[in-house]
């Protein structure tokens, strides 16, 4: 490994590589004298057995990458922020949260039907308990089935071009992933947050560095987007305050409105029949406190039993 090149750790999926290439391109624009090189690291979440098993737990896509950072095998790492646990390992820091892509979820249907147009009993695939619960809350007549694999694999399963034990009528995925892979044209419908509240950090890229690597941290900090950082800080603080397991359907989404940070969060039962929701607003500079306060409010409104009942599964 060349010591004069900044190694950028990432997963090897098409989406992860596209996201890393996006980050490297922007770092090269700002620091043309620096050299960057992609270093692919296989994570537990990339294990093919996840195709047939339960949904991967929080942090399963980042642990091995963070271990490589701590060992000095890479100078920085690029992650989808929604995949990162709310607590980082000692010695690591999120040096930048890049400007957010579309945070919404997207419906891709086989026939071009929108969510409200799908017939009763239509099979919708998702690997997310959060998406499944909110789908069932709005359309309890749908049949929601798990689907595994990277984004292109899921689209192939929908179209029937890849073997699947289930014939899907539609799938729900992150809009940001579609856009970053040049697949925006496959999206049938962008689901509004009122219907499908995003996951904390969805659509945002985090660049992680070592605490003691001041030079790399200073370079990466040039990509930090203040509005995205504040919004996702509030979202992750709320998620942390709720303390739910990774299988609990929890959604949190922050956005700027008239100079204030508006944060909305939702906790659901897996079948979508029970929903506890609340929102709060405050100064962007107090994002962490805003998220913590909203989590407390949700617990007071009755989210605790929903979280306790299902967190043991995560």
- Catalytic residue, from 4, 46, 83, 297: name it: 83
Are both 92 and 112 inside the same structural domain?
no
The least confident of 13-27, 52-66, 122-136, 215-229 is 52-66
pLDDT in tens, 118-128: 999 999 999 99
Residues 92 and 6 in one domain: yes
The per-residue pLDDT for range 226-273, each reduced to its tens digit, is 999 999 999 999 999 998 655 789 999 999 999 999 999 999 999 999
Q: Which residue range forms the structural domain that includes residue 163?
A: 105-191
Do 217 and 75 fall within a single domain? Answer: yes
CATH number for the domain harbouring residue 139? 3.40.190.10
290 SS3 class: helix
Same-domain check for residues 220 and 151 = no
Token pair 């900044």: residue: 6
Q: How many domains does the chain have?
A: 3
Helix, coil or strand: residue 277: strand
pTM above threshold 0.85: yes
Residues 80 and 212 both lie in one domain? yes
Q: Does the pLDDT value for residue 48 go beyond 80?
A: no
Q: pLDDT at position 23, please?
A: 98
CA 148/CA 128 separation, integer angstroms:
10
Does 58 map to a domain? yes
Q: Could you tell me if 94 and 213 lie in one domain?
A: yes
- Rounded alpha-carbon distances, angstroms, from residue 303 to 242, 250, 294: 8, 10, 11
The answer to whether residues 172 and 314 belong to one domain is no
CATH number at residue 274: 3.30.160.40
Of 69, 55, 86, 93, the closest CA to residue 10 belongs to: 69
- Is there a domain that residue 199 lies in? no
Within a domain: 271: yes
SS3 185: helix
Q: Is residue 53 part of a domain?
A: yes
Instruction: Evaluate whether residue 198 is within a structural domain.
Output: no
> Would you call 102 a catalytic residue per the annotation?
no
Is 214 inside any structural domain?
yes
Q: Residue 303's beta-bridge partner residues?
A: none
Same domain, 219 and 229: no
Q: What is the largest CA-CA distance in the chain?
A: 59
């Amino acid at each position: 490994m060349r010591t004069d090149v900044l190694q950028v750790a990432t997963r090897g999926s098409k989406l992860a590589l596209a996201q890393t290439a996006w980050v490297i391109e922007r770092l090269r624009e700002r620091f043309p004298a620096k050299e960057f090189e992609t270093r692919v690291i296989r994570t537990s979440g990339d294990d093919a057995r996840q195709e047939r098993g339960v949904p991967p737990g929080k942090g399963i896509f980042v642990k091995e990458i963070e271990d490589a950072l701590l060992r000095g095998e890479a100078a920085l790492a690029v992650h989808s922020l929604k995949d990162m646990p709310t607590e980082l390992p000692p010695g690591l820091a999120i040096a930048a949260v890049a400007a957010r892509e579309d945070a919404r979820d997207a419906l891709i249907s086989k026939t071009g039907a929108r969510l409200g147009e799908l017939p009763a009993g239509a099979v919708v695939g998702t690997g997310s308990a959060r998406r499944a619960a909110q789908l069932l809350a709005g359309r309890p007549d749908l049949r929601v089935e798990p689907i595994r694999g990277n984004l292109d694999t899921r689209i192939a399963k929908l179209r029937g071009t890849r073997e699947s034990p289930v014939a899907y009528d539609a799938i729900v995925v992150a809009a940001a992933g579609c856009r970053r892979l040049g697949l925006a044209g496959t999206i049938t419908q962008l689901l509004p947050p009122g219907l499908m509240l995003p996951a904390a950090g969805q659509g945002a890229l985090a660049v992680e560095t070592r605490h003691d690597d001041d030079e790399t941290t200073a370079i990466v900090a040039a990509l930090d987007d203040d509005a995205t950082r504040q919004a996702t800080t509030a979202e992750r603080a709320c998620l942390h305050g709720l303390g739910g397991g990774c299988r609990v359907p929890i959604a949190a989404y922050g956005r700027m409105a008239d100079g204030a940070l508006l944060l909305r969060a939702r906790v659901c039962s897996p079948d979508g029949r029970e929903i506890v929701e609340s929102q709060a607003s405050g100064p962007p500079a107090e994002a962490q406190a805003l998220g913590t306060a909203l989590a407390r409010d949700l617990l007071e409104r009755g989210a605790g039993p929903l979280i306790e009942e299902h967190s043991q599964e995560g």
